[in-house]
Chain A
Amino acid sequence: ADLGLGRAALPAEIAAWDKDVSPDGTGLPVGSGSVEDGEMIFSETCASCHGEFAEGVDNWPKLAGGMDTLDHEDPTKTVGSYWPYLSTTFDYVRRSMPFGAAQTISDDDVYAMVAYILYSNDLVEEDFVLSQDNFLEVEMPNADGFIIDDRPQTEYSQFTSDTACYDNCKDSVEITMRAAVLDVTPEETSSPAPALAPAAVVETAPQEPAVEVAPLEPVDIVASFDADLAAKGEKVFKKCKACHQVGEDAKNKTGPILNGVIGAPIAHVDGFKYSKDFLAAKEQGRMWDEALLAEFLAKPKAVFKRTKMSFAGLKKDSEIASVIEYLKSVSQ
């Protein structure tokens, strides 16, 4: 039935949303990008979660490696070892990455990032340039690794009601595995326990602070501000942007808002769920001064072992100094 509801979609509107790319290349935009450029962009944009070599950080996805592990215990599924189509990588990077700033990458840069991911999987050489022309020539190692759901043939005939047993179904019943042995069930920490179920609740002792440091006075930030250095820091801050926002409309994302962080007490942002280490530091009255922030930015986990920040750290002292200067500029 034609109810005459809605209106015609305009070509420009369809073009704006119809970004999906299919295995046969349908939807690929015109463009190209090199492994060399991709390495730089990847380091800036992706490495904080996926690692400099696409090897993954913490629980974030590994994008490289894992070849020939699919039939092992706990296989490593990466773009190289598992993904059957290159189109999927392009499509996903272009539409959904980077985390926290999706759809901000140019098509050429997407080609370059995909080229670098291929390189990190040893699937192309370092001088490789990916484009819409050679896109379909790239061979994905696990292209033939998939079968269409075969449960109707392999399982349904086995699991039938007709043969369900009701009496004398087995002689003995022994425990072969207990969840209490692995003990990975989340513990209740804050929410009230069900009054009648003491057995289900595990009390946790307060965590010991990781580092003992005396409370510090807030630093005077205005006296020492270098605008040129801050401008450099704004560029370095791109690495942080996937998780942290600054400015008037900033919101907590994967990481907390960083407005006014310098000179502020640790864990000062309302509504962000900090790690236990941060909360312990807050209890002690510790502050973010330049020295602590510099140490933290160099190697976060060395300062707060259980920080939620998966970023591995800034390598250059100059980057650290400039990004701290930039953060001063968003301190008001």
Chain B
Amino acid sequence: APDPLITQVQDWASGTGDGVDATPYGMPIEFESDVIRRNVEWLTADTISSINFTPIHALDGTITPQGCAFERHHSGAIELRKEDYRLMIHGLVDTPLVFTYADLERFPRVNKTFFLECAANTGMEWAGAQLNGAQFTHGMIHNMEYSGVSLRTLLDEAGLTSAGDFKDKWIYVEGADASSNGRSIPLEKALDDVMIAFKANGEALRKEHGYPVRLVVPGWEGNLWVKWLRRIEVTAQAIESREETSKYTDTLEDGTARKWTWVMDAKSVVTSPSPQAPITHGKGPLVVTGLAWSGRGAITGVDVTIDGGKTWQKARLAAAGQPMALTRFYLDIDWDGSEMFVQSRCHDDTGYVQPTKNQLRDVRGLNSVYHNNCIQTWWVKETGEAENVEVS
């Protein structure tokens, strides 16, 4: 029978829509209201010191919209006006300096796109398949284009002659919020590619991402990307503060723990089909898609299996991998309607390939919490529904 959506004149084809004044700053259309950050309540004691997850299962491309990019606060997202913002650089510098926000906008600017992944992303999956959805297993990640100033430019302004040999020096970075979340970063990294950002995806940072200024530490764990950045101290030693000793250290099977595990290793995940993005169209053409990234360089390739790893096919990269940024991959298949065990594994330009969960467990045991970059399995059933599983 003819489709009434075509044969009958619809309201939207006859009447009028909203005027240009209806939404001075727009939100997504109501039909997309399920594409939101979600929280896992049992993970933390309080939402003020907690984390939520990016709905990666419902997004495409590589840029994460700020409005649904995951948040992690240790003492809540604060409101700090640009007028009240101060950045101090001190310690082993020639002239300790204070900058206002307006000062920062006068330095030569850079634009770079990077992923930010929480070190705990996929951390709930060490002991077994636990959370049913790519948002929950892999959603502590976002990818934005940052505009700001290279940290080297700011450190040069303060002068580093007093620092002597850079090799054994550090910076300690601290936020303005009550958690005063501070981390030590080797000076060499700070001078290499770290930047301070005040815009993301073209507009001001959101409050929850550190407005007006945050640190960007390409390829390294998200906890280092200090929000509401207020202080940079050049030091002769690591401060060993709470976020680099009691947290963000990775306990091995024998009880010793790795520290200073800053870099995020190569990792990928199929975002669709997945538990929150089941196949609803039955057999036939199917787009399998996902994201890949590496903190050590650019993604050079992604392999996808639909049979749990018996055979692997090379996926198509939507664009060539960029260093320390998300890469989108696609595998266009003709689904025969039978169950699948879908996995992805990525390669980066250091020659590293994403390991299986068991390979990681063999080295680290089950208590590492952080840095779980294992291959993820989705069991896609004949109905098109999918579940988080582990396979032999």
B:172-205 near A, CB below 8 Å = 172, 174, 178-182
Contacts of A1 in B (CB 8 A): 153, 156-157
How far is the CB of A5 from the nearest CB of chain B, in Å?
5
At the interface, yes or no: B111 with Cβ under 8 Å from chain A?
no
| Known contacts A166-B311, A185-B133, A200 near B258 by CB under 8 Å | no
Contact indicator per residue, chain B 296-329, by CB within 8 Å of chain A (1) or not (0): 0000110100011111110000000000000000
At the interface, yes or no: B239 with Cβ under 8 Å from chain A?
yes
A:164-180 near B, CB below 8 Å = 164-180
At the interface, yes or no: A127 with Cβ under 8 Å from chain B?
no
How far is the CB of A25 from the nearest CB of chain B, in Å?
11
Contacts of A148 in B (CB 8 A): 258-260
How far is the CB of B177 from the nearest CB of chain A, in Å?
9
A169 touches B246 (CB 8 A): no
How far is the CB of B359 from the nearest CB of chain A, in Å?
7
A200 touches B239 (CB 8 A): no
Contact indicator per residue, chain B 38-72, by CB within 8 Å of chain A (1) or not (0): 11111111111100000000100000000000000
Task: Indicate the member of B89, B132, B251 with the most A CB atoms within 10 Å.
Answer: B132
How far is the CB of B302 from the nearest CB of chain A, in Å?
11
B130 touches A182 (CB 8 A): yes
How far is the CB of A257 from the nearest CB of chain B, in Å?
15
At the interface, yes or no: B256 with Cβ under 8 Å from chain A?
yes
At the interface, yes or no: B261 with Cβ under 8 Å from chain A?
yes
A75 touches B96 (CB 8 A): no
At the interface, yes or no: A192 with Cβ under 8 Å from chain B?
yes
Q: Roughly how many angstroms separate A21 CA and B95 CA in the complex, as a whole number?
A: 22
Q: Roughly how many angstroms separate A177 CA and B46 CA in the complex, as a whole number?
A: 30
B353 touches A9 (CB 8 A): no
B:321-369 near A, CB below 8 Å = 341, 345, 347, 350-355, 359, 363, 366-367
B:226-282 near A, CB below 8 Å = 230-231, 233, 235, 237-242, 245-246, 249, 251, 253-263, 265, 275-278, 280
The count of A-to-B residue pairs whose CB atoms sit within 8 angstroms is: 286
How far is the CB of A48 from the nearest CB of chain B, in Å?
11
Contacts of A59 in B (CB 8 A): 42-46
| Known contacts A165-B312, A169-B310, A160 near B237 by CB under 8 Å | no
A254 touches B46 (CB 8 A): yes
A147 touches B240 (CB 8 A): no
How far is the CB of A284 from the nearest CB of chain B, in Å?
24
| Known contacts A75-B251, A146-B257, A164 near B90 by CB under 8 Å | no
Count of interface residues, chain A, beta-carbon cutoff 8 Å: 94
Contacts of B254 in A (CB 8 A): 71
Interface SS majority for chain A: loop
**Residue among A20, A71, A161, A197 making CB contact with B253, cutoff 8 Å:** A71
At the interface, yes or no: A225 with Cβ under 8 Å from chain B?
no
A191 touches B40 (CB 8 A): no
A22 touches B240 (CB 8 A): yes
Contacts of B391 in A (CB 8 A): 173-176
**Residue among B97, B235, B246, B390 making CB contact with A83, cutoff 8 Å:** B246
At the interface, yes or no: B163 with Cβ under 8 Å from chain A?
no
At the interface, yes or no: B16 with Cβ under 8 Å from chain A?
no
B45 touches A310 (CB 8 A): yes
B98 touches A161 (CB 8 A): no
B303 touches A164 (CB 8 A): yes
Contacts of A191 in B (CB 8 A): 33-34, 36
A154 touches B239 (CB 8 A): no
At the interface, yes or no: A92 with Cβ under 8 Å from chain B?
yes
27 A-B residue pairs with Cβ-Cβ distance under 8 Å, sorted by A, are: A8-B96, A8-B98, A9-B88, A9-B96, A13-B88, A17-B231, A26-B237, A49-B45, A70-B257, A88-B245, A103-B180, A149-B258, A149-B260, A151-B258, A166-B312, A168-B310, A168-B311, A172-B392, A173-B307, A176-B392, A177-B390, A178-B379, A184-B42, A185-B131, A186-B38, A186-B40, A192-B33
